[in-house]
Amino acid sequence: MKLKYYILASVLCLGGTSCKDFLDTEPTNFIAPNYATLAELETALAGVYDVLGSQAMYGDVVPYWLNVSSDIEYTNTGQSNTTAYIYTPADAQITNYWKTLYQGIYRANLLLAVVDNPEIDEAARNKIKGQALFLRAYYYFQLVSNYGDVPLLLTDKPSISAVDIPRTPMREVYDMVIRDMTEAEALVEDVAGPGAEGGLSYGGRVSRSAVQGILARVNLKMAGFPLNDHSRYTEALAWAKKVRDSGRHGLNPDYTDVFMKYAKDQYDVRESIWEVEFFGNNTGAHSEYTYYVGARGGIRNPSDRDKGISGGSVLATRRLFDLYEKDAENTDVPQASPDLRRDWNIAPFTYVGNPAVYTPNPDIWRRTMGKWRREYEVVSPKDISTSPQNFPILRYSDVLLMIAEAENELNGPTAVAYEAINEVRRRAYGLLLPNPPKPDINADLPDGLGKEEFREILKDERAREFCFEASRRPDLIRWGNFIGDMKSYMSWALANGAAQGHVLAQTNVSERNLLLPIPTYDMALNKALTQNPGY
């Protein structure tokens, strides 16, 4: 059963603790449900997954409130709020993000406390255990990379008499993340692949490839700011190569089809290794939808519901537009690009009227995100403000670019690094298509690049490939010059046609924004918590 439909049936059961459980529980502890059968373990696991799709996670806060403002994307709401790096420890988005992550951790703790039940089939429960271990570690990865030192809570029975729990040093939290993910890697299923029997055929469940790929990401983060443990590049490279060498993954030859599949509710685990499940159209009880596509982002369309209404408030910066190569032989204004990603990711048009009329948009400072396009959605009728399109957490192109980055940092731009980045670039230029639009074009990087040159090109390649996928701010932070990059971009933007409202976030950002504030709500409950600098 696909995870999204299992969650529908399961999350309604969460918290359904029996009277006997209540009476048998010590009065000084929280009430913990008793998961005694495989079906009950699956129900508990669905609850751990369910956190991913909440509004406080990938449904809204992660892709929009926390990550919409960088050097390559911005929002045109013009508000002085979280998107513009104006927030306090009482900020609702930041508080809900923290609380929701800990909710997922506590659900995982409840499950992990009882999963080793010898009365349940070992192979089945080990798969559940592996997923719960990984998800708990992933939620801690989100906490430690955004808030720094955080309380490490690994019990299913927190005591109401011991609530003052200090923050655990981030290195210890990262060590726990690595430890639990590594254990999970041996327990979860592989994805379906060529010549293999069985395996996961959809990206909503955590697969072995997902664990390996995220382990590569965690190690890259540890290699960068603030730990700067460069030895982790070796681990990052090893984990990313495991995904590549499994033979179960490859790039979809058509970049645009990756995102059409999210709209059409189709899976492609070769490319989209792990994704957040969204479904429904905000009618009835059985829906889990995203505000990021629809109310926030998409090709601007204020009126035509059949086409898919979108506020179009997530836009590309001129810098992102300019990162894509221009066709020197083209005389259009602006010039066409041989990189097919540009005019898909950055919509060169809007929709006007009802029925919607395709209307070119020549203003490259005000072009909206086109990566997720509501016109391809198959759920009907379409909701006016939400979308059921899945959101990718890990794509195979990310694995390739992590290989290129780690290899370059360890050994310089070797053939391994070149091949990994060039594979992504060849797809971008249409060279993997059955009938490439320009079969004679050379998408490969030139030979002879130095380590620094290769590093800067790779940073730009990540922007071109993963724009609007909530990765740019974390990338800039781990590369160690987030504030400098944002301020440099602001100066460039104002000198190249940007209005002051386009760089509101860059105007406000400061050193304190390297970490989010510890929420006031939790500091009031937990007197052992300390606040991050600048708040």
Task: Report pLDDT for 472.
Answer: 98
Average confidence (pLDDT) over 3-25: 40
pLDDT per residue as tens digits for the range 180-224: 999 999 999 999 987 667 899 999 999 999 999 999 999 999 999
Q: 149-164 in b/e burial notation, b at 16+ Cβ within 10 A?
A: bbbbeeebeeeeeeee
Task: Report pLDDT for 138.
Answer: 99
Average confidence (pLDDT) over 93-104: 98
* 134, part of any domain: yes
pLDDT at 129 over 70: yes
Tokens of 354: 């009802």
Single out the residue in 368, 389, 410 at which a domain terminates. 389
What CATH code is carried by the domain that includes residue 422? 1.25.40.900
Tokens 């540890």 appear where? 222
pLDDT band at 170, cuts 50/70/90? very high
Task: Identify the bridge partners of residue 455 per DSSP, sorted by sequence position.
Answer: none
DSSP letter, residue 11: G
* 454, part of any domain: yes
Average confidence (pLDDT) over 160-185: 95
Is there a single domain that holds both residue 316 and residue 459?
no
pLDDT at 11 over 80: no
Task: Report pLDDT for 31.
Answer: 56
pLDDT at 350 over 70: yes
Average confidence (pLDDT) over 87-99: 97
Is there a single domain that holds both residue 77 and residue 92?
yes
* 489, part of any domain: yes
Task: Report pLDDT for 160.
Answer: 74
Single out the residue in 155, 176, 197 at which a domain terminates. 176
> Cα–Cα distance between 343 and 56 in angstroms, integer?
30
Single out the residue in 134, 152, 176 at which a domain terminates. 176
Is there a single domain that holds both residue 143 and residue 21?
yes
* 234, part of any domain: no
Is there a single domain that holds both residue 359 and residue 433?
no
* 64, part of any domain: yes
Is there a single domain that holds both residue 492 and residue 369?
no
For the beta carbon of residue 113, count every other beta carbon within 10 angstroms. 14
* 418, part of any domain: yes
Task: Report pLDDT for 33.
Answer: 72
For the chain, how far is it from start to end, CA to CA, in angstroms? 46
Average pLDDT of every residue of the chain: 92
Average confidence (pLDDT) over 137-156: 97
For the beta carbon of residue 80, count every other beta carbon within 10 angstroms. 12
Is there a single domain that holds both residue 416 and residue 359?
no
Is there a single domain that holds both residue 50 and residue 152?
yes
Is there a single domain that holds both residue 156 and residue 303?
no
Average confidence (pLDDT) over 416-436: 98
Is there a single domain that holds both residue 161 and residue 19?
yes
What CATH code is carried by the domain that includes residue 89? 1.25.40.390
Q: Residue 353: which domain range?
A: 294-389
Task: Report pLDDT for 159.
Answer: 73
Average confidence (pLDDT) over 85-105: 97
Task: Report pLDDT for 27.
Answer: 41
Average confidence (pLDDT) over 232-254: 98
Is there a single domain that holds both residue 52 and residue 18?
yes
* 448, part of any domain: yes
pLDDT band at 2, cuts 50/70/90? low
Is there a single domain that holds both residue 325 and residue 421?
no
The rounded percent of the chain whose pLDDT value lies above 90 is: 86
Is there a single domain that holds both residue 415 and residue 349?
no
* 399, part of any domain: yes
Average confidence (pLDDT) over 480-484: 98
User: Which amino acid type is present at position 270?
Assistant: R
Split into its structural domains, the chain has a count of 3
- Cis geometry, peptide bond prior to residue 334 (ω within 30 degrees of 0): yes
